[in-house]
Every structure is written in structure tokens, then in C-alpha cells.
Structure 1
Amino acid sequence: MAWLLFGLLLMLFLINVPVAVALGLASMIVLMVQDNVPLMVIVQKMFTSTDSFTLMAVPFFILAGKLMESGGISKRLINFSSTLVGSLHGGLAMVSVVTCMFFAAISGSAAATTAAVGSILIPAMVKRGYDKSFSTAIQAAGGTIGVMIPPSVPLILFGVIAGASIGDLFIAGIIPGFFVGISLILVAYFISRKRGYGKEEKSSLKEVASAFKRAVLAILMPVIILGGIYGGIFTPTEGSVVAVVYGLIVGLLIYKEIKWKDLPEIFISSAITSSVILFIISCASIFGFLLTREQIPAQISEGMLGITSNAIMILIIINVILLIVGTFLETSAAIVIMAPILVPIASAAGMDLVHFGVIMVVNLAIGMITPPVGINLFVASNIANIRLEHIVRAIMPFIIVLIIDVIILSFMPSISLFLLDK
């Protein structure tokens, strides 16, 4: 029955059936073949999988990100980032990454980070003499940090599916997110220096202070949310609601860049994005039910441990699998499909569940800039009005450094777990 399930799923993927529909349809067909399973199970599993207080954090963090994206936050963060690193070689390229790091702590989404920052910086970089393909590539790569630095929607999904603490996952994602950001900045610096991309004027302390003052409300948001979660003031789900209220107050009443008439469009856009993710989860729950019923994760775990019991080799195999899966599946879909399979293997190999969650998200983030499904590449190329194939060569150095980052994070768990004191 396992071969039928995976065979149907692969066939549906090959004919471009949407991931959520493919998961649900393949599972339904297998359940119909098994006469002893009532089809009412499908409805029950789809409903109960999303009937979760913890999972409510997903739509609220998405809405908070949309509010901050529309509220003039990206412009203020770019100005502040420019005063920090704009005077170095390839200053604007570095500004792109630094701003993505700030915006990642607000949006929780890689695509939103790429769009919000790229819509301003890609045209600005091209105007200053940067190659268009390089400008697009650095923005797409910087956008991947959006799912690493909390709040992160993929980390929430992993926590819900794997039963890991979302608060711990958020804290564990901070240092790896900054680590990846710094590595991308170094690549941008060396490429820019080699190609002679210019510097910006050095900002005075007064200009830095002024830019910080204008951006301080945006910078404070992750401090308030993460501080509240880790300080035990509120749960991650309650923190997501606080983020929405904060975003409304800042964008609507303080910066005043969100008008009352803009709210319906923001709410509808957030609802659509949330519904897509929740529909994937609900359909994947049927798939997960079948996997568990047929004991497929246990069989895969036993098979892999039968090949090798070496924890290092197991971790290498898992990383390779995730890199391949991330190339073809959207991150949320990949997590809901692969987490139930890989978590038992990681646990059997003695890996910390929080550390594994961070590795999984960073791994899958590489797929966001890898053809053919790289969503960040599509977002950035649409902004730059450049064909996808023209970016492939420019994105390769960033893919290589991200793979190196994954290897380092995999074999140095202290980077992820340092703030948790584990």
C-alpha cells in the first residue's frame, strides 16, 4: 500500500497537480481501496489537523508581516541599514542582506521579505551600476533569511508537526539566521570588490542615529515578541496576536502609511496566504495518517539505521534528502510531508529535536533560490523584469555558501542551541 501511495503522489506531482490537492487525492484513493477504512476519516483528519490553538499563530504572523510590509517599514529599515554598511564595497548589496535580516524578524516569510525589500533595492542597485542578475540574485538569497530568524512560519509548522517547543525553535533560529546573513554579506562583498561595484558615502553618527530613530519601532517589534515569548509573558500564539495589534498601531496610527481603505485588501491577502498553508496542512494530515497506519516512518528509520548507525552519516543523508526535496517542493509542503518521516530517524540518531528543526528549515530555504521551484527567484525576477535563466549563474555562489552554512550548522549544534543553554 505504501508503494501505491507514493506512486500516486509522484504521478500527480509530475502532471503539476497542486501539492495540497495531490496529497489529499492520493490519500483518498488509497483509503477507498482499503475497504475497512470509512471515508469519513478524511473529513475528520482534515478538520482536527487545523483545530489547533498553536497553529493559529500562522495566520496571525502572516497578517502581522503584511501590515508591517504595507506600513512603510521596509523603507525605514533600508535607510537604517544603509547608514550601517552602505560605505563598504558593494554597500547596497550588503544593505539588501542586512535589511532582509531586520525584515525577517517581522514577516516570517521568505517571499514577503524578498518582495518588500527587493521592490526598493533591486531598482536602486541597477541604477547605481550593479549588474541586474547579481542584484536580483543577492535579493533572492537574502530573502531566504525570512524563514530562519523568528517569527518563522516554517518553524511553527515544524513545531506543531514534530511536537517541539515553538518558543525554543524561535530562540534557536536567531543565531543561525544571523550566521547565514553574515555569510551572504561576505559573498556579496567579495563579488562586489572584484567587479568594482561602488561604495556609498559614509554616514555620520548623527545620520545613523536619525535613521535608527525612524526605524526603531520596526526594530522593537521582534524584541517585544521574542522577549514576551521567552520571558513567559505570552505563548507564541498570543505573541502573534500582539504582533498584529502592534503592526496595526504602527502602520495605521504612527507611520500613517496604511489607510483605513487599505485594510480589506491586506486582510484578504493574508487570508488567502493563510488558507493555502492551512489547506496543505489539512491534506497532509491524511497523508500523515496513512504513513503512520502503514508504519512507513518506522520502516524507513529501520532501513536507514540498517545501512548505517553512524550519526554523522545519517545526518549527511538527511541533509542530502532535504536539499533535493527543497528543490522541488514549497517549504511548508516539504515540512508537513517530510517531518513525520525524518523526525523519528533524527531522534534515533540522538539529534536534539530543536536543532533538527533549524537544520530542516535552513536546508529547505536553499530550495527557495534553486530552480525549478525557487519561489524567491520568481519573486525577485518579476521585480527586476529579468528572465529566470539569466539569474541561475549569478545565484550559484550564494547557493554554495548556503550549503556550507548547512553543513556547519548541522555539525555544530551549539550554534543553534547556544541561547537555549542546552
Structure 2
Amino acid sequence: MSLIAISIAALILALIGVPLFVVLGGLALAAFFHSGIEPSAVSVEIYRLASAPTILTIPLFTFAGYLLAESNAPKRLFRFTNALLSWMPGGVAIVGLVLCAFFTAFTGASGVTIVALGGLIYPILMNRGHDDKFTMGFITTSGSLGLLFPPSLPIILYGIVAGVDIDQLFKAGIVPGMLLIIGLAIYSILKAPKENSEKGKFDLKEVLVGLKGAAFELFLVPAVLVGIYGGVVTVTEAAAFTAFYILMIECFVYRDLSFTKDVPKIVVDSMTMVGAILIILCCALGLTNFLVDEEIPNQLFGAFNHILTNKYAFLAFLNIFLLIVGSLMDIFSAIIVVVPLILPLAQEFDIHPIHLAIVFLTNLEIGYITPPVGINLFISSIRFKRPITELYRSALPFLFILLICLAIITYVPALSLIWVK
């Protein structure tokens, strides 16, 4: 059987719904066998991955994010940010952007954010005079906002797959992530109702009450960032601290969760997702070894060399390609499958690996709301019982704004590299 036939068979299996790790693992084993290489080359990757010190960050941060999502943390954080920012034009929408970014950064999953915060934000935006189209587009878009901020799970996974320093990636994502929030905040201000203005009065007492209520959760962000960037702890140690800290405050300080009833279920749910990611990652890394051995990336570069004559053309092509990938695949699978293919191509065009990472992740973040099959569109459709075509129309203005921000991030690499040594 030729490699083309093997690839076609793998594609058919994927299209009929065979689990991705089976497709990738089977493809890797078949490819190695066809080339006369021991299939044990695939299993070696499992050991290599297990011995990587940063691999522990994935289950720890995921567990912490699920604890936050299942607790009353969203309500406490919303009360504080609402008291702090709602006096501004479009203030409640800005509150929603900040809160969604915070949540997605810790959960690493837009679906969790839409489910956890969508029902909380929707009635408030409607009561403040925003129309239904804006509100649905806002919630759908905000669900994936925050994937560029530490300790985002996609950033960690990208660092492991691409062999890029995760601390540097955490720094690199801050300014581009802020740009996305600012772009959407400006649009929210412009769309703020002129009649029945949503601006509230700044109430210091309410701010202090909200701060007191959410103080333990708010402490976590500066503690993790200062710990990592101050050289006090490694990323892995920060992940362990985060998981333990959130477990303690949600179970024994706020008592939102029962340690004996709720936590076991959260462990199962969060580790099920982690297990799926790690199995896919192991199989994909085995396939990556084969692609490198067969010099497939170099062949791809040769095929596109006459079309992509400079790095700007390559970046434009990459954006289009990744938007399509982001709308068709979940972000974790996309990172595992696509990153090994584009890294050698990017090196040929002298694109900084950190800048490439931020462009890659931004594209996949936007891919969540890209029609026709962006995952956020379907999650919002199910969550709010709306036709998917209605979500397409609602998300388009937000998609347009994010694409403008993407162009800036892509062609102004200094935004990604400003704090990178």
C-alpha cells in the first residue's frame, strides 16, 4: 500500500468519526511499517512526552479551570468587575470581555466559558438596552477570548509541541491578547445604547464589597504572574500552586464545592479531557517523526516556493489556512497536527518562532467563530436554542474586528516580541 493510499484511508476514517488518536496512531504505524522502520518509534514518543517536566502543567491548570467554572467564582468576579467598570459607556460589555478572558485563560476551553458565563451576561446586556443580535454575537465571540493569556492551556500545549519556551510564550501573548480585547471594547462602546444609557454610577462601596467577595480569586492572577516572571517558581510549580490554591478556597473558604461530592466529578471531567489530549499528542508526535524523516515539510516548501515568494505572502497564506483549520478542528487537535508541518516552513521565511506561535494561536482563537462550522457558533446555538444561521449573522461584525486585529498582530511582530528576549 502506498503512502497516498494510507493517507486516503486515514482521511476516510476521520470523516466517518473514528477517534483522532486512532487515526493518527494508525497512520503513524502504517507509515513507519511501509518505510521499513520499527513501529516502536511511535511508542518511544509516549516515554519522551511523559518525561517532559512541563507536561504536568496540562492536568493541573485544567483541573483548576474546571474548579473555577463549577464554583460561584463567575458571579463574584462579575460583581466586582461590574462595580468597577459599569460606569463607562459600554461598561457592562467591557466587564463581560474582561471576565470571559479571565475564565478562558484558566479553563482553556471556550465552551466552558460560554456555558458558565453566557447565562449570567445575556440578561444583563439585554436589560441595559443592547439588542439581541449584539448580545448573541458578543457572548459567542467572548467565549474564546483569553486564549493568549497565561496560563492558557493552548499556549502550554503549543510550547510542548513546538519546543518553544513556555515562559516566553506567556509574555508574548499579553499585548496581542490586550489588542483583541481593546478592539472588541471599542466596538462595544460604539454600540452602547444611546437611549436608556447603560452607564451606571461609580459606587466605591460596591467596588469594595465586590473586591472583598472575590479577593481570593483575584489574588491568583498577580501571584501566578509574579511568581513565574519573577523567577520565584517554574511554570510547573505555578500550576501546582494554582490547582491546590483554588481547591482550598472553593472547597473550604467559599465552600461552593463539596470536597467529597463535587470534586471527584470535576476530577473525572477534567482528566477525561486531559487524557484525550495526551493520547492524541503521543500519536501525533510519532507521526511527526515520520514526516521529519521523510522530509515532508521540505517538500511542501518546494511545492509552494514559486507561489510564496516572501514571508509576507507566506503569513497571508498561513492566516487563511489556519482560519479554515480553526473552524474545522478544536484548538488542541489543530496544534498537535498542524504545528509540526508549519514550523519548518516558517523557519525558511525567517519568522520568529514566538511570533509564529502568537499568529497561530490568534488564528485558531478567531476560528472558533468563523462560519460555517466554528465551534463557538454551535455551542451558543445549543446553549441559547438559536438557529445556527442566526449566530452567523450575529458574529460577523465581531469576526471582522478580530480579523483587523489579526492583521496587525501578523504584520507588526513587535507586539508579540516586545517582552521577549
TM over 0.5: yes
Report the CA distance between 1:401 and its aligned residue.
1.2
Q: Is the 8 A contact 1:107 1:146 kept in 2?
A: no
Quote the residue 1:228 is aligned against. Answer: 227
Report the CA distance between 1:215 and its aligned residue.
2.2
User: Aligned pair in 2 of structure 1 residues 29, 73: CA closer, same or farther (>3 Å)?
Assistant: same
Which consecutive residues of structure 1, in runs of 5 or more, have no partner in the other structure? none
Once the two structures are overlaid, the 10-residue window that deviates more, 380-389 or 173-182, is 380-389
CA distance in structure 2 between the aligned counterparts of 1:236 and 1:271, rounded to whole angstroms: 19
Quote the residue 2:125 is aligned against. Answer: 125
Q: Which amino acid aligns with 2:238?
A: G
Which consecutive residues of structure 2, in runs of 5 or more, have no partner in the other structure? none
Quote the residue 1:288 is aligned against. Answer: 288
CA distance in structure 2 between the aligned counterparts of 1:48 and 1:99, rounded to whole angstroms: 37
User: Aligned pair in 2 of structure 1 residues 15, 65: CA closer, same or farther (>3 Å)?
Assistant: same
User: Aligned pair in 2 of structure 1 residues 197, 280: CA closer, same or farther (>3 Å)?
Assistant: farther
- Please state whether the residue corresponding to 1:415 is helix, strand or coil: helix
CA distance in structure 1 between the aligned counterparts of 2:199 and 2:22, rounded to whole angstroms: 49
- Please state whether the residue corresponding to 1:256 is helix, strand or coil: coil
Q: After superposition, what is the alpha-carbon deviation per residue over 1:173-227, rounded to whole angstroms, capped at 9, x for unaligned?
A: 1121121111112222323447x67405223223223322322322221211121
Report the CA distance between 1:239 and its aligned residue.
1.2
The equivalences for 1:340-359 within 5 A come to 340-359=340-359
User: Aligned pair in 2 of structure 1 residues 53, 84: CA closer, same or farther (>3 Å)?
Assistant: same
Report the CA distance between 1:357 and its aligned residue.
0.7
The equivalences for 1:83-94 within 5 A come to 83-94=83-94
Q: Which amino acid aligns with 1:241?
A: A
Quote the residue 1:22 is aligned against. Answer: 23
Q: After superposition, what is the alpha-carbon deviation per residue over 1:5-27, rounded to whole angstroms, capped at 9, x for unaligned?
A: 54334333332333333222333
Q: Is the 8 A contact 1:105 1:222 kept in 2?
A: no
Once the two structures are overlaid, the 10-residue window that deviates more, 106-115 or 353-362, is 106-115
CA distance in structure 2 between the aligned counterparts of 1:2 and 1:411, rounded to whole angstroms: 37
Once the two structures are overlaid, the 10-residue window that deviates more, 405-414 or 343-352, is 343-352
Quote the residue 2:37 is aligned against. Answer: 37
User: Aligned pair in 2 of structure 1 residues 197, 114: CA closer, same or farther (>3 Å)?
Assistant: farther
CA distance in structure 2 between the aligned counterparts of 1:193 and 1:291, rounded to whole angstroms: 54
- Please state whether the residue corresponding to 2:289 is helix, strand or coil: helix
User: Aligned pair in 2 of structure 1 residues 204, 268: CA closer, same or farther (>3 Å)?
Assistant: same
Q: Is the 8 A contact 1:63 1:270 kept in 2?
A: yes
Residue 188 (structure 1) aligned with residue 194 (structure 2): no
Residue 279 (structure 1) aligned with residue 262 (structure 2): no
Report the CA distance between 1:409 and its aligned residue.
0.5
Once the two structures are overlaid, the 10-residue window that deviates more, 63-72 or 356-365, is 63-72
CA distance in structure 2 between the aligned counterparts of 1:182 and 1:2, rounded to whole angstroms: 47
CA distance in structure 2 between the aligned counterparts of 1:217 and 1:354, rounded to whole angstroms: 32
Quote the residue 2:215 is aligned against. Answer: 216
Q: Is the 8 A contact 2:49 2:55 kept in 1?
A: no
Q: Is the 8 A contact 1:322 1:364 kept in 2?
A: yes
Residue 66 (structure 1) aligned with residue 66 (structure 2): yes
User: Aligned pair in 2 of structure 1 residues 338, 153: CA closer, same or farther (>3 Å)?
Assistant: same
Q: Which amino acid aligns with 1:265?
A: K
CA distance in structure 2 between the aligned counterparts of 1:61 and 1:14, rounded to whole angstroms: 31
Once the two structures are overlaid, the 10-residue window that deviates more, 374-383 or 354-363, is 374-383
User: Aligned pair in 2 of structure 1 residues 84, 380: CA closer, same or farther (>3 Å)?
Assistant: farther
Q: Is the 8 A contact 1:62 1:109 kept in 2?
A: no
Query: Hey, which of these two has a bigger chunk of helix by percent?
Result: 1
- Please state whether the residue corresponding to 2:168 is helix, strand or coil: helix
Once the two structures are overlaid, the 10-residue window that deviates more, 165-174 or 371-380, is 371-380
Q: Which amino acid aligns with 1:95?
A: V
Report the CA distance between 1:78 and its aligned residue.
1.0
- Please state whether the residue corresponding to 2:146 is helix, strand or coil: helix
> How many residue pairs were aligned?
419
Once the two structures are overlaid, the 10-residue window that deviates more, 7-16 or 53-62, is 7-16
Q: After superposition, what is the alpha-carbon deviation per residue over 1:83-104, rounded to whole angstroms, capped at 9, x for unaligned?
A: 2332344443332212112324
- Please state whether the residue corresponding to 2:37 is helix, strand or coil: coil
Once the two structures are overlaid, the 10-residue window that deviates more, 313-322 or 57-66, is 313-322
CA distance in structure 2 between the aligned counterparts of 1:127 and 1:386, rounded to whole angstroms: 19
Once the two structures are overlaid, the 10-residue window that deviates more, 263-272 or 126-135, is 126-135
User: Aligned pair in 2 of structure 1 residues 347, 87: CA closer, same or farther (>3 Å)?
Assistant: same
CA distance in structure 1 between the aligned counterparts of 2:189 and 2:3, rounded to whole angstroms: 49
User: Aligned pair in 2 of structure 1 residues 173, 197: CA closer, same or farther (>3 Å)?
Assistant: farther
Quote the residue 2:200 is aligned against. Answer: 201
Quote the residue 1:166 is aligned against. Answer: 166
Q: Is the 8 A contact 1:114 1:143 kept in 2?
A: yes
Quote the residue 2:310 is aligned against. Answer: 310
CA distance in structure 1 between the aligned counterparts of 2:354 and 2:41, rounded to whole angstroms: 31
- Please state whether the residue corresponding to 2:82 is helix, strand or coil: helix
Quote the residue 2:99 is aligned against. Answer: 99
CA distance in structure 2 between the aligned counterparts of 1:2 and 1:345, rounded to whole angstroms: 22
CA distance in structure 2 between the aligned counterparts of 1:30 and 1:98, rounded to whole angstroms: 46
Q: Which amino acid aligns with 1:25?
A: G
**Aligned residues: percent identity?**
32
Q: Is the 8 A contact 2:155 2:170 kept in 1?
A: yes
Q: Is the 8 A contact 2:42 2:287 kept in 1?
A: no
CA distance in structure 1 between the aligned counterparts of 2:394 and 2:408, rounded to whole angstroms: 23
User: Aligned pair in 2 of structure 1 residues 200, 348: CA closer, same or farther (>3 Å)?
Assistant: same
CA distance in structure 2 between the aligned counterparts of 1:181 and 1:264, rounded to whole angstroms: 35
Quote the residue 1:242 is aligned against. Answer: 241
Q: Is the 8 A contact 2:172 2:417 kept in 1?
A: yes
Report the CA distance between 1:140 and its aligned residue.
1.9
Give the alignment's TM-score, normalised by structure 2: 0.92
